[in-house]
């Protein structure tokens, strides 16, 4: 049994040696004895039954007392004990009022004495025993959970899952300096640090193959598999040290098996803060986080708020406001240009039904400039110009009616001229006073009137009583002027039409009609409306989206700062947490109890049931006790090898 357990004992032996190196302090004895040091080291051995519950708890205790004289040490026990046995000494151990009395004979000089005793808890006490770490071992064969007692002799795919959980977490207030050098307090869940060692799980290669011990990041550590001389050994080290490692983890072993037999495996639980050779880069990471925090702070400061000067959001808000003013200005310009456009040409006005008396068309629409020009030109072309032509004809007829000298005088009739008729009358009154009136008064007036009629029609010098004078306002001159006005009005009409066309058409809704030329707005009004629509419909929403995105950058920077601050706080709190872990570990120094004023250490071993058709509870119980004795013998040897043999026989 000892030879079979040798490999298993090495790791547990090393951990136990670390535990017993803890310092102790003085305790005064009675009856003249002087006790300078008391050390109480406990190894709690829990046996798991077929259902995975703890079936039996034994505590292997090593007590070392240093000093001189004879003294009785009272070792406290918080649980009722079924039995207590001094394993290889003759010292008497008594039980009274929940305490064990142990007699020590230290001699006259400074010395020490070791006592190793095994205490078994009463069965009724097991249910209330407080374990700092829970251990649950489950067995599966071909995917179906099975009790270990049912595994013996079976074949198939074996899977063993061991779930471990640190149950010691409690909230503590930590004090430390933050990244600003300020002393702060923070509440954190602090555990007593435990390392679970599942070592030396051996499997006979004749019965087990394809052995695996897979791990899952942040949940389950991967096992170390070693194949030596026909046996495969699997080991795990599971630190249950939050926040570095999860408080709850599990290990998995899988193998193809035939005629299954398994020894009783040992699971050691030791309170310790693991020390590794890992290089501490916390300072560098902390400095990098500080720089990252500063960078996000600058980003957040650059993003700013709409009301904060010299920031991106303030600038975007100013751009948006400016675009709004531009849009408003364009809207006002479109309204004014629309009014101008409608003043230049009214598309609703019907020239053909214009009524000069009302100044409107048949539907009551008033003419704009272009329509007024059209009406004026039509009036010139259709009324004034024909009237002037008629006047010219009338003047020509009147000029012919007046007549001129030089023609043959004939008998007056309706077709003869006035000058012919006056000349005819002059011949009739020749030699009378009437001849003189006709010659000097009537004939010259008729001749002047006939000439003036020609001047009125064609222009020239107008004959008056006082002489002749230029007369530019002839009918021909007026007709020529009217023709020029008509021509000018026609050109003005075309020009106004071009202006109206350039400004653009107005729809029935009073808005510019869409006109595109070569893919671009084809009128001023539509271009302005298009630009305003682009500002209101695209640029302003674009600015809003840009502002929203920028605000998200600012919010993201703020959140990043908070996260970095939290990370920095955790980094700054790390030494305080480590200190609290070490303090908790130092206080995890007893299971049963210890003498007043003594220093103590405690470790735990959980052992699984042996899977063997011939196995019994006594077999694996004895194996655990023998293994524990090996650990304690490394601390203090018995007086003679024969005593160890005798103890084995008794057990």
pLDDT, tens digit, 9 for 90 and up, residues 188-206: 889 999 999 998 899 999 9
Predicted local distance difference test score (pLDDT) of residue 646: 33
pLDDT one-digit tens code per residue, 143-192? 999 999 999 999 999 999 999 999 999 998 888 877 777 888 888 889 99
How long a stretch of residues is the chain? Answer: 651
Query: Mutual orientation of helices 385-402 and 475-503 as an angle, nearest 10°?
Result: 180
Q: How confident is the model at residue 554 (pLDDT cuts 50, 70, 90)?
A: confident
The pair of three-digit structure tokens given for residue 627, joined into one six-digit string = 């293994």
Predicted local distance difference test score (pLDDT) of residue 27: 39
Most confident range, picked from 118-132, 274-288, 320-334: 118-132
Predicted local distance difference test score (pLDDT) of residue 459: 85
Segment 315-328 shows an average pLDDT of: 87
Predicted local distance difference test score (pLDDT) of residue 223: 94
Segment 116-137 shows an average pLDDT of: 93
How far apart, in Å, do the first and last CA atoms of the chain sit? 14
Instruction: Give yes or no for residue 412 having a pLDDT over 50.
Output: yes
pLDDT one-digit tens code per residue, 71-123? 888 888 889 999 999 988 888 888 888 888 888 888 877 778 899 999 999 99
- For the chain, the average pLDDT equals 82
pLDDT one-digit tens code per residue, 599-623? 889 999 999 999 987 754 334 444 4
Segment 633-651 shows an average pLDDT of: 35
Predicted local distance difference test score (pLDDT) of residue 245: 92
**Angstrom distance (rounded) from CA 201 to CA 255:** 13
**Cβ distance 54 to 44 under 8 Å?**
no
Predicted local distance difference test score (pLDDT) of residue 527: 85
**Cβ distance 240 to 194 under 8 Å?**
yes
Q: How confident is the model at residue 19 (pLDDT cuts 50, 70, 90)?
A: very low
Predicted local distance difference test score (pLDDT) of residue 13: 44
Instruction: Give yes or no for residue 451 having a pLDDT over 70.
Output: yes
Q: What is the DSSP letter of 622?
A: H
Cis peptide before 7 (omega within 30 of 0): no
**Contact residues for 538 (Cβ-Cβ < 8 A; gap 6+):** none
Lowest mean pLDDT among 324-328, 414-418, 627-631: 627-631
pLDDT one-digit tens code per residue, 378-387? 888 888 999 8
**Angstrom distance (rounded) from CA 496 to CA 502:** 10
**Angstrom distance (rounded) from CA 19 to CA 245:** 22
The pair of three-digit structure tokens given for residue 519, joined into one six-digit string = 């893919």
Segment 64-69 shows an average pLDDT of: 89
**Burial class of 283 by CB neighbour count within 10 A (0 to 12, 13 to 18, 19+):** exposed
Predicted local distance difference test score (pLDDT) of residue 603: 93
SS3 272: coil
Most confident range, picked from 19-33, 258-272, 553-567: 258-272
């Amino acid at each position: 049994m000892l030879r079979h357990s040798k490999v298993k004992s090495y790791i547990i032996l090393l951990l136990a040696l670390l535990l017993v190196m803890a310092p102790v302090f003085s305790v005064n004895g009675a009856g003249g004895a002087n006790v300078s040091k008391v050390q109480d080291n406990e190894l709690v051995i829990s046996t798991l039954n077929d259902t995975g519950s703890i079936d039996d708890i034994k505590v292997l205790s090593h007590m070392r007392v240093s000093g001189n004289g004879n003294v009785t040490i009272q070792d406290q026990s918080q649980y009722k004990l079924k039995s207590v046995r001094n394993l290889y000494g003759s010292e008497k151990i008594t039980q009274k009022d929940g305490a064990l009395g142990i007699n020590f004979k230290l001699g006259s000089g400074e010395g020490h004495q070791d006592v190793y005793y095994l205490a078994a808890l009463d069965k009724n006490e097991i249910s209330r025993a407080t374990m700092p770490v829970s251990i649950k071992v489950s067995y599966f064969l071909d995917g179906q959970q099975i009790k270990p007692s049912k595994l013996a002799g079976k074949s198939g795919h074996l899977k063993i899952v061991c779930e471990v959980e640190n149950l010691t977490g409690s909230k503590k207030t930590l004090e430390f300096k933050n990244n600003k050098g300020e002393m702060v307090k923070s509440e954190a869940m602090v555990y007593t640090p435990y390392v679970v060692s599942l070592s030396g799980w051996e499997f006979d290669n004749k019965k087990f193959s394809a052995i695996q011990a897979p791990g899952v990041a942040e949940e389950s550590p991967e096992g170390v598999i070693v194949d030596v001389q026909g046996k495969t050994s699997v080991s795990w080290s599971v630190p249950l040290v939050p926040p570095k490692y999860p408080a709850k983890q599990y290990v998995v072993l899988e193998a193809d098996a035939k005629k299954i037999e398994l020894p009783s495996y040992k699971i050691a639980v030791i309170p310790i803060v693991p020390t590794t050779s890992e290089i501490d880069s916390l300072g560098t990471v902390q400095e990098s986080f500080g720089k990252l925090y500063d960078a996000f702070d600058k980003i957040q400061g650059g993003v700013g708020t709409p009301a904060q000067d010299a920031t991106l959001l303030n600038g975007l808000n100013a751009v948006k406001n400016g675009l709004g003013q531009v849009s408003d200005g364009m809207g006002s310009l479109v309204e004014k240009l629309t009014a101008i456009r409608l003043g230049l040409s009214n598309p609703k006005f019907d020239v053909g039904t214009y009524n000069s008396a009302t100044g409107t068309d048949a539907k009551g629409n008033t003419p704009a400039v272009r329509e007024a020009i059209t009406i004026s030109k039509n009036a010139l072309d259709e009324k004034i110009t024909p009237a002037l032509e008629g006047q010219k004809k009338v003047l020509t007829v009147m000029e012919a009616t007046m007549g001129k000298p030089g023609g043959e005088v004939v008998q007056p009739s309706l077709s003869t001229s006035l000058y012919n008729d006056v000349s005819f009358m002059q011949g009739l009154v020749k030699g009378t006073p009437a001849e003189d009136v006709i010659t000097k008064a009537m004939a010259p007036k008729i001749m002047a009137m006939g000439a003036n009629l020609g001047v009125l029609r064609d222009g020239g010098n107008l004959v008056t009583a006082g002489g002749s004078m230029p007369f530019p306002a002839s009918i021909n001159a007026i007709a020529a002027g009217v023709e020029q006005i008509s021509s000018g009005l026609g050109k003005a009409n075309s020009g106004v039409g071009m202006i109206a066309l350039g400004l653009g058409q107005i729809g029935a809704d009073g808005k510019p009609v869409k006109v595109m030329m070569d893919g671009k707005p084809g009128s001023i009004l539509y271009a302005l409306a298009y630009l305003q629509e682009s500002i209101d419909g695209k640029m302003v929403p674009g600015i809003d989206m840009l502002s929203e995105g920028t605000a998200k950058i600012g919010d993201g920077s703020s959140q990043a700062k908070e996260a970095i601050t939290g990370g920095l706080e955790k980094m700054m709190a790390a030494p305080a947490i480590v200190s609290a872990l070490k303090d908790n570990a130092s206080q995890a120094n007893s299971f049963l109890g210890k003498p007043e004023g003594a220093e103590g250490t405690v470790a735990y071993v959980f052992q699984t049931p042996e899977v063997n058709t011939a196995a019994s509870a006594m077999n694996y119980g004895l194996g655990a006790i023998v293994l524990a004795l090996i650990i304690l013998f490394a601390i203090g040897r018995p007086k003679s090898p024969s005593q160890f043999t005798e103890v084995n026989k008794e057990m």
